[in-house]
Structure 1
C-alpha cells in the first residue's frame, strides 16, 4: 500500500508539469512507473538497548515533574544522543541493503514548443540511488517544554551528503533516438522533524516531518554525444521527473525509520508502566524487554 501511495503522489506531482528554463516550453503529460521496489517499505529498526536508555530517562524525569522548572522556556541540547541514533540508522541502512537502493523505471511522454509543438518520449531504466546512509544530524537538536500544556517538543534537523544516482535512458525526439547513461547528484537535502511528548498521557508522536530545502539536480550524460538543445531539453525533463521521485524515497525511508522508533519507545513505555500487559512481540520494543 505504501508503494502505491508513493507512486500516486509522484504521478499527481509530475503530470502536466510545465517547464520553461530555455527557449522552449516543455509539458510532461504522461508518466508511468514500473519496478517500484519493496525496499521503500522499511522494516522496523531495532536500536540497541543502551542507546535507548537516555531517552527513557529523560521521559521518566519529565513524567515525574523533576525537570519541569529547568525545561520551562529553555532549550536542552541532545546532540550526542541524536548522533548515536543516527549512527545506528546508518548501519541499518547499509547492512539491510538500502544503500544503494533501486530506483523505479519511468516512462514519460512530453511535448515541447520550438515554433511548433513536438512530441517526445523518454524511458529511464536500471536506476540506483546511493548515499542515503549518509543521513546525519544537520544542526542542534533542541528540546522545549510548555508548562501550561505539559507538552515536550523535540526538533531534530536532518541532513545528507550529496545523494548520487544513475540511470540508463532512451529517448525519441523529432525522429532522433538517443540512448545512453546518466549520472548525477542532488545536494543539500534538509529535513526538519518535530517529535512531541504528551507528559500527561506519556505518549510520543511524530508531529512534523518536512523536507525544508533541496538544491538543484546535476545531470551528466554518458554515451552518445548530444547537441546542446537536446541536452537542455532532456536535462529539464529528467530533473523534473527525478526530483520528486528521489525526495519521495528519502521521505518514505527516513520517515518510516522515525515512526518505527517512536512506536517502539511508546510500546516500551507502556510495557514499563503496565507490566501485566506484555509488549507485542511484533514490535522492535520487545528487544528491550528481557
Structure 2
C-alpha cells in the first residue's frame, strides 16, 4: 500500500512538473558542516618566498616620490603579480590545490501539488584550480598626506574552479546515490590593504566578495527522473555555492594575511629603527 501511494504521488508530480514547474516552492534547511579539514591556514607556511625584493620596493618608492601629493594613485601590477605567483606556488606545493572540502548535510521540502520532504548529504568533496587566483585588474595605491596612510586596492579573480562530491539523497522513500561534478566561474574579490606611514605597518583592512560567480552542477552514477534531478540540482547548487565561497574566502584571506606579514617583515628588514626617517614624501619612508 505504501509503495502504491508513493508511486501515485510520483506520477502526479511528473505530470504536474511540466505544467506548473514555475509554481513550486523549495525550502532548504540549515546546512550542517562536518569533517571540516584543518589545513586551510597559511600560518605555518614559509613566508620568505613572497617578501618583496628591494628592486620592487625601490620602483614603488620612485613612483610615489614622483607624485607625492594627496590623492596620488600608483599602479603596482608587477608587484601584485609577483605576490599572486608565489601564493599560487605555495598553494600547489603545500596541498591546497586540489583542496579537500567539508561534508555537507541539509534537509529540504518541496511543494508541487503535495509537499515532499527529503535530505541530501554531500561527502568526499574536492575543489581544484583554486590556485588560479590572480589579479583581476589594476592594483591601485592612494596616498593621503593628511592621514599619512596608503590604501591599496587589490582586485582578485579566479579561472574556472572544478569540484566533485559524492551524494546520497532520501526523498519519500527513494534513496538515490551517485556523484556530482561541477564548476564555478567568475568569482571576484576586492581587498583593501592599508599602510600606516607613522608605524610602518601594513594591514588587511577590508575584504569582500564582489561577485559570487556562476555554478554548474551535474549528477552522475544514477539515472534520475527529470523532476528529481531538477530538485536535487536546485538544492545542491545552493549549498555548494555557499560552501565554496566560504572556503575560497578563508583561503584568500589567509593568503593575503600571509602576504601582509611578509611585507611587514621586508619593511622591517629594510628600515633601520635607530635612524630617523624623513617625512617629506611617501618615497622616503622606505629608503634613506
TM bucket (normalised to shorter chain) is: 0.7 to 0.9
Partner of 1:26: 26
Out of 259-268 and 84-93, give the one that drifted further: 259-268
Could you list the runs of 5+ residues in structure 2 that have no partner in the other structure?
1-20, 275-288
- Note the C-alpha offset of 1:86: 0.8
Give the stretch that moved more between structures: 110-119 or 262-271.
262-271
123-132 or 73-82, which deviates more: 73-82
- The number of residue pairs the alignment matches comes to 253
Higher mean alpha-carbon deviation, 182-191 vs 104-113, is at 104-113
2:40 is the alignment partner of 1:40: yes
2:132 is aligned to 134
CA displacement, residues 190-237 of structure 1 (integer Å, 9 cap, x when unaligned): 111111111122121111111100222100111111122111111111
Partner Cα distance (1:217, 1:145) in 2: 38
The answer to whether the aligner puts 1:95 opposite 2:71 as a matched pair is: no
- What does residue 110 of structure 2 align with? 112
* Runs of 4 or more consecutive aligned structure 1 residues displaced over 4 Å after TM superposition: 58-62
Q: TM-score, normalising length from structure 2?
A: 0.80
Counterparts of 1:151-230 in structure 2, within 5 Å, are: 151-230=149-228
- State the distance in 2 between where 1:27 and 1:82 align: 42
**Partners of 2:60 and 2:138 in 1: CA distance:** 19
CA 1:230–1:164: 2 relative to 1, 3 Å: same
- Spell out the pairing of 1:78-89 with structure 2 (5 A cutoff): 78-89=76-87
Aligned residue for 1:188, secondary structure, equals: strand
Q: Is the 8 A contact 1:186 1:214 kept in 2?
A: no
How far off its partner does 1:68 sit?
A: 7.6
Instruction: Indicate whether 1:274 and 2:247 are aligned.
Output: no
The alpha carbon displacement at 1:146 in A equals 1.1
User: What's the counterpart of residue 54 of structure 2?
Assistant: 53
Within 2, Cα distance between the matches of 1:50 and 1:31? 39
8 A Cα contact 2:150 2:195, kept in partner: yes
Offset, 1:58: 6.3
Q: Which structure: larger Rg?
A: 2
Query: How high is the TM-score relative to the length of structure 1?
Result: 0.80
Seen in structure 2, the aligned counterparts of structure 1 residues 251 and 84 have a Cα distance that, compared at 3 Å, is same
Change (3 A) 1:25 1:179: same
Alignment of 1:238-249 (within 5 A): 238-249=236-247
Offset of residue 265 of structure 1: 2.4
Deviation at 1:70, TM superposition (A): 3.6
Cα shift at 1:267: 3.8
Q: 1:219 to 1:50 in 2, by over 3 A?
A: closer
Other-structure match for 1:17: none
